[in-house]
Structure formats: C-alpha cells, structure tokens
Amino acid sequence: MIRTPYRSSVLLVLFFCALASSAQTANQRVTQNVIMVMTDGLRWQEVFRGAEASLMTKAFKVKDGAAFKKTYWRETLEARREVLMPFLWGTVAKQGQIYGNRDKGSDAYVTNSFFFSYPGYSETLCGFPDPRVNSNDNFPNPNVTVLEWLSKKSEFLGKIAGFGAWARISAIINADRSGVPVVAGLDPLTTLPGNPRVDLLNRMKLETPQVWDEEPFDVVPFYTALEFLKERKPRVLYLSLGETDEWAHSGDYVNYLTAAHRVDQYIRVLWETVQSMPEYKDKTTLIFSPDHGRGDPHGRPSRARPVRPDQLGRHRDSDHPPRGRVDRISARGGIRRLCRRMVRDHARWRPLRLVPRVA
C-alpha cells in the first residue's frame, strides 16, 4: 500500500530516494523545490543489508577486522543497514517508502548497455538511454537533461544549479548549452564573493593533495553546494558525489563503507537545513540515487556467489544500478513526472504514481 505522508515524506526508489515535504492539500502543488543527490556506484546490497561479512577481510584492505566490525557489523541485516545509513533507515524509511530490495523481488537497473558513470548519469537526468553516450570521455551531452528542460521555464530562470565531485558532471549537464551553472571537479565557486566559507572551500580544492584526477573528496563539493543553497536558495539543486565509486574501484571496503555512511550524513544535513528555511520547508522533495552499482561481470546477482576483490571495483553487474525499472515504474520517468508537476502547466500531466513499498 502507499503510505500517506504526515508532515514530510520520503520516497526512495531503490535508492532513488525522494524526501518530500507535504503539509499542503492535495489540490496544491506540494513540491515547489527539488534537491537531487546522487552518489556514484553505491551497491544495493549495502543499502538493504548493511555491511557484507565476506568483504571484511584483508583482501578488501580491512586491516583491523575487529575494529571495523565493531563499527559496521551487527547480527541482523536491519541493524547493519541502520548503523551504516542511520538517516535513510531512521527517517526516510519510517516516513516514506523505499524500493529496490532485490532480496524481496524489487529490481532496479539502468537500461543502457554500458554500466558506468556518464551513461548512467545521462540516462537518469534525461530519462532515456542513448547509444551515443558510450564513454566517460569529456564531451558535451547531446541530450537535454531535466535540469536544462526546467531552466527554460520562466519560473525557473536562474533558479537551477548543479554541483559535482566528478569534473564530467559539467559536460553531462552540458553547462555551456543549457545555461545551468555547474561547479564540478576542481572548479571554484565564484558567484558568492565575500563568503569566507566558500573562499576556504575553493582553496581546499586547489591545495588538498589529489587522490583522483579532477575530483576532490566529497566534503568539498557537498559544503560548497550547501553554502550556495543557503545563500542563493535555488528551486532545483543537483549534487553528485563520487567517493563511493572511487574507493570501490580501489577495492577498499573500509573507505567505501565510510563514504556511504558520510553520504547518509550529508543527506541528513541537507534535509535538516531545508526544513529550517521557510523557502523550502514543507514544499521540497529530496531525491537520492546512485548512477550504477557493481559486482559480478557475468551478470549473476552477487547474492548468489561471493564477490571477489576485482569484482568490487567493476561496474558491470546484473543487479547493479537502481535505475530504470522499479516494480514496473520507471525511476527516471518518476523524476520527469515530478518535475513536470512543478511547472505551471502541471495539470496536463497525470499525478506521480508510486508502487508498493518493499524494504
């Protein structure tokens, strides 16, 4: 059954998570603002099961197994997933809906055939796969994203912004053509002059030692986006984080889980921030999703066989992303319908329909 939200609700379509404030009547447009957060390459297994014991070994760079298990291991999967992502399971799941638990038959996956970042982001933001988008190279996205589509509506002019840890986010949104301002990779935020916190964040981008090319740690783009949110108050804010994917590529399960836990904290901070601001309170939807998952390259669900160290770093996997089909409802289509309801001609579109909760 569809759970009716109380004061604020959260919809997570396997990680396509939407936290929606709804204190208004059914005849009013509940969602007036959207904040979308994506974290790169986070597996559904950790979201719904918590830490995986078979990965808590030296093969996955776990040096102190006892200490690591004390932090993230619990006897039941419900306790494990809540200690890993406490806001997701302590607030989102209790006030809204969660989809994508493959152990209970709720599947979600991308429909593009490439199973890596650029195609995954493009499919999510555009609503369809494109065989031309077939690499992670730095090329402008030929397709119009929902951010660009919304930016052409009069009530959204100058009210949309994008932030990303990965430098390619600017090309995926196609900032030059769309006119949507994007701060990605090591680019500084220059539109908030005189803000000392932004000045410090810009310096951190330049002066912090780089582990990955053109990509800072998540803390920098997150707090940069947060400062922009508080000062400029955009109606649509997009944020992409990358550490979950980067640490998984290196087979580092400790930092991978720590990054996932930190993303959960960031989402909590975002939600608490918007609920404290009259411009956003009770009229904002927060969406959370990855771009792809990872695991067995032969298309076997990783629950069927142990994950090898080399497989944790791979993208290709049949159970991999929470995108595409979710119990016959398209997560990407859900984004498009949600945004259509925000514009003045929203009455022409059918209401956003949800499918039964599977957690």
Under a CB-based contact definition with an 8 Å cutoff, are residues 260 and 277 in contact? no
pLDDT tens, position by position, 1-33: 222 222 232 333 334 455 555 444 444 557 899
The pLDDT of residue 132 is 95
Any idea what the CATH number is for the domain that residue 331 is in?
3.40.720
Is there a domain that residue 278 lies in? Answer: yes
Is there a domain that residue 196 lies in? Answer: yes
Q: What is the mean pLDDT of residues 125-146?
A: 94
Q: What is the mean pLDDT of residues 212-232?
A: 96
Is there a domain that residue 76 lies in? Answer: yes
**Single-letter amino acid, residue 224:** T
The pLDDT of residue 223 is 98
Is there a domain that residue 38 lies in? Answer: yes
The pLDDT of residue 221 is 98
Q: What is the mean pLDDT of residues 38-61?
A: 92
Per cent of the chain over pLDDT 70 is: 73
Is there a domain that residue 14 lies in? Answer: yes
Is there a domain that residue 353 lies in? Answer: no
Question: Over 60: is that where the pLDDT of 304 sits?
Answer: no
DSSP structural state of residue 353: P
State both tokens at 67. Answer: 């200490």
* Other Cβ atoms within 10 Å of 5 Cβ, number: 18
Write out the residue range of the structural domain in which residue 72 sits: 8-348
Is there a domain that residue 273 lies in? Answer: yes
pLDDT tens, position by position, 314-328: 665 433 433 322 222
pLDDT band at 265 (very low <50, low <70, confident <90, very high): very high
pLDDT tens, position by position, 139-184: 999 999 999 999 999 999 999 999 999 999 999 999 999 999 999 9
The pLDDT of residue 339 is 56
pLDDT band at 311 (very low <50, low <70, confident <90, very high): low
Question: Over 60: is that where the pLDDT of 79 sits?
Answer: yes
Q: What is the mean pLDDT of residues 302-312?
A: 54
The pLDDT of residue 243 is 96
Question: Over 50: is that where the pLDDT of 298 sits?
Answer: no
Higher pLDDT, 20 or 68: 68
Closest CA to 208 of 238, 165, 240, 241: 165
Q: What are the φ/ψ torsions at residue 14 (nearest 5 degrees)?
A: 35, 55
Number of domains in the chain: 1
Residues 6+ apart with CB under 8 A from 304: none
Higher pLDDT, 51 or 311: 51
Is there a domain that residue 356 lies in? Answer: no
